A and B are shown apart, each in its own frame.
Chain A
């Protein structure tokens, strides 16, 4: 936890250097020194100087972020800010990029998406990515087990009893909330060390969102890192250690959770919510 403290402080200092309305180049520069701090402890994911394009359109500019084991980090920003593109670039699904992405100290540039997944990056897409042509159990069993800490199927079923009940149903016969549980359970069964969660709370009832919060805290306790794209600022504040605010493809703010909470109202206005 003391580790998290120091990170928060760093985040605060960064924030003081830039207002969130600051011109983007300085803002992007502000993100980078924070990444370079030597006392941050081991980081499992390090993204630096990442730019991404769709054809001619540049959607990310010199983005620098990092995630440590057991840390929950959010990407907050309006629609089109580049959050999903950032996750897809880390996963290796979006290849039109420049800059470096390292995972556990290994440069991922030449790694395919499936190799990245086997190295321990777990993908939970915004549409949940549940297979209609696979049963619930098959959805869980499809990915290979990539780490000794992977949850055995029995543990998955104990933690998500509804998945046991519905295990022989086609995956897409589950409700939205259950599909979200399944998508998260799937990467836990796989043993992913870093989860990329793309808006897990979107469109779900408050009680389910609360449950997702519990799951995130549970996996955080196991030293799994989480990079969370989230529009729900209140939810983000209940689970995360740090927050990166993205605007027009740049990191414009880097906040510890205390500052994030303190400025919640302002951020909600900024995000147009």
Chain B
């Protein structure tokens, strides 16, 4: 039983990274119609920047948690303004290819500069220990990462459901053309939404830094799982991205614990099952499919 709780917590912590990143991916897809292949690379960049801040500027985890998303927001704004924007009028495949190319550049650039062996990052002071709940020992950092990502997802959820900006983003995500015809300048929200989505990927990267090997390739596997998350949740569904993120984290953790041989494929079996039963995903609308 205690093992099961341990795995559940690990799963939720990993799921939190997926949920945060998938949320960004879903919002970007919804408002811009862009499938951002570089989302995994942005997650990696978030972790790398956190590691570099610590190693070269002695900037710790807590500051990085704030500074890295801001830097990544700026990176996202530049990326949208300088690159993505120019291809928006064309077939969505062009931006998919653009972000794929960008991913290769980012990964190779990080390899060139920091090598392939991985950067060190320590669990922040105060969260290094174990927390005992009854007979179960849980990693304090895993608890923190899990609670923090769920809190951020909730905060983003409130932003989307309780504010006018959120209402506009939801409307633009559902039907951009109609939203323009109702007097909303959807284009004005494109750049900040893109930056916001990238910032969430960067935030997930910082959160992952103390628990994962920080390498240039850490985003490569991540993006594939993210696509599975988005498909399971329903393309363009914001709630779906969060729920599916946590679900995939759990399934992955149980897979690693109870069926290590099949751990890599469990997620994709889950995805296949969901798509068979509900082609538009758990929370996707039928029209979208």
A residues sitting closer than 8 Å to B (CB atoms) are 91-93, 112-115, 117-118, 123, 125, 129, 131-134, 138, 141-144, 146, 186, 190
The answer to whether B171 and A114 have CB atoms under 8 Å apart is no
Q: Tell me whether B180 and A117 are in contact (CB under 8 A).
A: yes
Q: Are A125 and B184 in contact (CB under 8 A)?
A: no
Q: A142 → chain B, closest Cβ, in Å? A: 5
Q: Which residue of A lies closest to B181 (CB)?
A: A123
* Top 5 A-B residue pairs of the complex, sorted by shortest distance between their CB atoms: A117-B183, A143-B182, A123-B181, A113-B180, A114-B180
| Closest-CB distance, B85 to chain A (whole angstroms) | 16
Contact of A91 among B167, B181, B185 (CB under 8 A): B181
* Complex CA–CA separation, A93 to B184 (angstroms): 13
**B-side interface residues toward A, CB under 8 Å?**
167-168, 170-171, 173-175, 177-186, 285
A146 contacts across to B, CB distance below 8 A? 183
Q: Is the interface of A mostly helix, strand, loop or mixed?
A: loop
In the assembly, what is the distance between CA of A141 and CA of B184, in Å?
Answer: 12
Write out the residue numbers on chain B whose beta carbons fall within 8 Å of the beta carbon of A143.
Answer: 182-184
Interchain pairs with CB closer than 8 A, number: 63
The residue on B at minimum CB distance from A196 is: B181
Q: A132-B285, A141-B167 are in contact. Are A114 and B174 (CB under 8 A)?
A: no
State whether A134 and B180 are in contact (beta carbons under 8 Å apart), knowing that A114-B185, A114-B186, A129-B175 are contacts in the complex.
no
Docked Cα-Cα span, A241 to B178, in Å, equals 28
Residues on the B chain within 8 Å of A190, using CB:
182-183
Task: Tell me whether B180 and A112 are in contact (CB under 8 A).
Answer: yes
Please name the residue on chain A nearest to B173 by beta carbon: A133
Whether B167 lies near A129 (C-beta < 8 A) is no
Q: How far is the CA of A118 from the CA of B82 in the complex (A)?
A: 29
Q: Is the CB of B174 within 8 A of A133?
A: yes
Q: Which residues of A contact B174 (CB under 8 A)?
A: 131-134
Residue pairs across A and B with Cβ atoms less than 8 A apart, 24 shown, are A93-B177, A93-B180, A113-B181, A114-B181, A114-B184, A114-B186, A117-B182, A117-B183, A118-B183, A123-B178, A123-B181, A129-B182, A131-B171, A132-B285, A134-B167, A138-B167, A141-B167, A142-B179, A142-B182, A142-B184, A143-B182, A143-B183, A146-B183, A190-B183
Instruction: Tell whether A142 pairs with B168 under 8 Å between CB atoms, given A114-B186, A132-B285.
Output: yes
Would you give the shortest CB distance from B186 to chain A, in whole angstroms?
7
Contact with B171, one of A92, A118, A123, A134 (Cβ below 8 angstroms): A134
Instruction: Enumerate chain B residues within 8 angstroms of A133, measured Cβ to Cβ.
Output: 170-171, 173-174
Other contacts beyond A92-B181, A133-B174, A146-B183: 18, CB < 8 A: A112-B180, A114-B180, A114-B181, A114-B183, A117-B182, A117-B183, A125-B178, A125-B181, A129-B175, A129-B181, A129-B182, A131-B170, A131-B171, A132-B285, A142-B171, A143-B183, A144-B183, A190-B182
Distance between B182 CB and nearest chain A CB, rounded to angstroms: 4
Chain A residues whose C-beta falls within 8 Å of the C-beta of B182 in the assembled complex: 114, 117, 123, 129, 142-143, 186, 190
Tell me, rounded to whole Å, the shortest Cβ–Cβ distance linking B123 to chain A. 39
Q: How distant is the Cα of A131 from the Cα of B185 in the complex, in angstroms?
A: 17
Contacts of B177 in A (CB 8 A): 93, 113
Measured CB to CB, the closest approach of chain B to A254, in angstroms, equals: 27
> A209: shortest Cβ distance to chain B, in Å?
23
